[in-house]
Structure 1
């Protein structure tokens, strides 16, 4: 009775019944190591015990479930925990905007605010970007296949080359600056530049620090806002809570979703500088801006970022994946692998046609969930839970090594 539009049930053709940590179990009792993590919505794994307990306790005491944007204890506790454990330790001053529950809702809200603040209509997005599938965010998305689904023209977005698009050593910011300063180019300064520091769906390209600095400087120079789309790369996926933390840039707007609830519950959060908070009351709305169950688990998830054991495990797992990627790329030259990504959003790009899909199909048969990335599915993408047991991570990588060799035979 389901539409043919479904996708992941085709990629992983079984019926899952339970999940714990980095393991999923299907209806036949077979276990799978999960290197997919709900497309980045399960950074802490399936049913993390501390978050599950907090949620059960809240439900059992008849805590408010739905509240739009009315004040609730769950909402207030999340704002307090997020401010004190995430923002203040990083010397960040932002106000919280709770949007509809999906990542594309967060992007739409960010774009509306940028246009309202600047009075400009066009937004600058980048090659291979992915920002969502509602009309505003889809306009910023680069994939032709996804854009065709709109059925109408997607306007008010100018597309510029991302870092490395014209070659690894080519800084594209001077070109963008030239286009914006030349009255004959046809380009005008945008309301905002919207950018992913790691293009998770776009092939796992990572923007260099110097490029991001130049982009931030250009945005300030031309009076544009800088929006960081941290929906998949944020909430710890790069090893830091925010993907741009070690880059030394200060965005005007940050979009979070996916793992912000910590439990796979729908929730989105837009962080805005206080100076640009010019919304009129009720100017953006949405029935599900008050997912209190998500607030409860999101509050519990902030504790991870003050837990030294958790942070040390994340660092160990990053080292394990680094070593594995290096070994596979060097030992299998026929695959033409190039290491991609950063932290625990990693992968291997290949010049061998259809190899990533073959690897992912074989991996599923071997008990491992892993997905492809890139406009032409040219990369294998690894998104293991941040804090999974290191031995279990190594087991999953061992399976993947065997599958890669099988796919090349």
Structure 2
């Protein structure tokens, strides 16, 4: 327990009421390393939040920090818009050789701006330009960002309401397993696809033919809903048959979070467009990518731009991350082992408290512990913070405790955090 209340007055006085994470974690953080943050009073917190997935390799990763410091000390270019630099060239070559080429992926890369939502905006803009259509299919409980285009394909009512204007040209469809309660799990073929296909084929349906479908293979903010590989393959096939492009939003689940570098690899699909951000820089520096098939690259020069679309320090740490962790399948295998460790611990928590009706779902190192009592997750997260563990909640009603430990977390750190989580569940019962 903290010995004194932190001084939050300057934040409460000068910063907007829109701030959120600091309300759940009322302390002032000062430094961080690996899987730990430390506040200004010297208290340590085990981090199972990882900057909402932007710190897959932990805080101040030594290999990445060394590359960044060396670059800065050599007076390397910091800001360059989309000019050619040695840092950008090194990243593009590493990304091609270590990520795209080994996976047989044909993509060209676009740097649309520093945030995940700007990558989504670029993707939506491009597919509409390519197809000459406006509508985009998205899914229940999806989250794609906070700018207007991304909000139009986001499901959360609170976030959508913040737009202040109608959010149009989006067609929501049920995500995998969304209709299970209605169908008693009897349908072998995804019923949502049968419904969408009927709409697409019927000239009297009133559906404007969509330009594309955007999907997360694992819905992080939506409550850690995991799409089955067969569901994703059926979706890709539907898009192909009906001349729609497939966008995979891999902003939070890419860069190894689910095991493989891209979360869609397990399903054996090749999306037309992929968005990446969060951990692509490896160091928590703002960076995003929009990847697409070469034949879709019909942009005119300068047709989509932005001042901060060429962060060279982020290129440096991104390149270091690729060379450090993605020259072989070691990281993927380690993530799988760590994921099994988390799953077993969550199963033990569920079995200890059968009356809670807890629900476990996840892949790799993203896991959710959902509760029938929607207030329970927030109570567990608060108690975890008091005990020195940072976890966030997700889902439409914040009913899920979401775990995003660093991929580099040590087994003993993972055990420690999971013990704190188990205690938090026990003490909020």
Q: State the TM bucket, normalised to the shorter chain.
A: over 0.9
The change in CA–CA distance for 1:236 and 1:278 in structure 2 (over 3 A counts) is: same
What is the CA deviation profile of residues 124-149 of structure 1, one whole-angstrom value per residue up to 9, with x for unaligned ones? 11111000010000101111100110
User: Could you tell me how far 1:300 is from its partner in structure 2?
Assistant: 0.5
Q: Does the aligned pair in 2 maintain the 1:35–1:383 contact within 8 Å? A: yes
Query: Distance between the aligned counterparts of 2:382 and 2:199, measured in 1?
Result: 44
Number of matched pairs: 408
Distance 2:239 2:283 in 1: 35
Shift of 1:307: 4.9
1:195 counterpart (195, 206, 215) = 215
CA apart distance, 1:403: 0.7
SS, match of residue 211 in structure 1: helix
Equivalent residue, structure 2, for 1:328: 349
Q: Residue 5 of structure 2 aligns with which residue?
A: none
Alpha-carbon distance between aligned partners in 2 of 1:32 and 1:215, rounded to the nearest angstrom: 41
Q: Tell whether 2:117 aligns with 1:104.
A: yes
Provide the TM-score with structure 2 as the length reference.
0.93
- Find 1:121's aligned residue among 134, 137, 140: 134
Does residue 1:137 correspond to 2:158, yes or no? Answer: no
After superposition, give the CA deviation of every residue in 1:64-119 in whole Å (9 maximum; x if it has no partner): 00000000000000000011001111111100000110000000000000000000
- 1:370 paired with 2:383, answer no
CA distance in 2, matches of 1:222, 1:352: 41
Q: Distance in 1 between matches of 2:235 and 2:44?
A: 45
CA deviation map 1:195-248 (0-9, x unaligned): 000010001111111111111111111111000000001111101110011101
1:10 counterpart residue number: 23
| TM-score normalised to structure 1 length | 0.98
The worse-fitting range, judged by mean Cα deviation, of 305-314 and 331-340 is 305-314
Among candidates 83, 87, 92, match of residue 74 of structure 1: 87
Is the CA contact 1:173–1:211 (under 8 Å) kept in the aligned structure 2?
A: no
CA RMSD for the aligned pairs?
1.1
Structure 1 partner of 2:160: 147
Give structure 1 stretches of 5+ with no counterpart. none
Corresponding residue number in structure 2 for 1:91: 104
Task: Indicate the larger mover: 318-327 or 364-373.
Answer: 318-327
2:170 paired residue number: 157
Report the CA distance between 1:347 and its aligned residue: 1.1
CA distance in 1 between counterparts of 2:31 and 2:197 reads 51
- Please name the residue that 1:339 is paired with: 360
Quick check: 1:56 aligned with 2:69?
yes
- Whether contact under 8 Å (1:316, 1:390) holds in the other structure is no
Contact 2:98 2:322 in 1 (8 A): yes
Task: Tell me the equivalent position of 1:349.
Answer: 370
| Shift in CA distance, 308/222, structure 1 to aligned 2, threshold 3 Å | closer
The alpha carbon displacement at 1:357 in A equals: 0.2
1:269 and 2:289 correspond: yes
Tell me the residue number matched to 2:278. 258
Contact 2:260 2:332 in 1 (8 A): no
Kept after mapping to 1: 8 A contact 2:259/2:331 = no
Instruction: For residue 306 of structure 1, give the secondary structure of its aligned residue in structure 2.
Output: coil
Structure 2 alignment gaps of length 5 or more: 1-13
Is the Cα contact below 8 Å between 1:349 and 1:378 reproduced in 2? yes
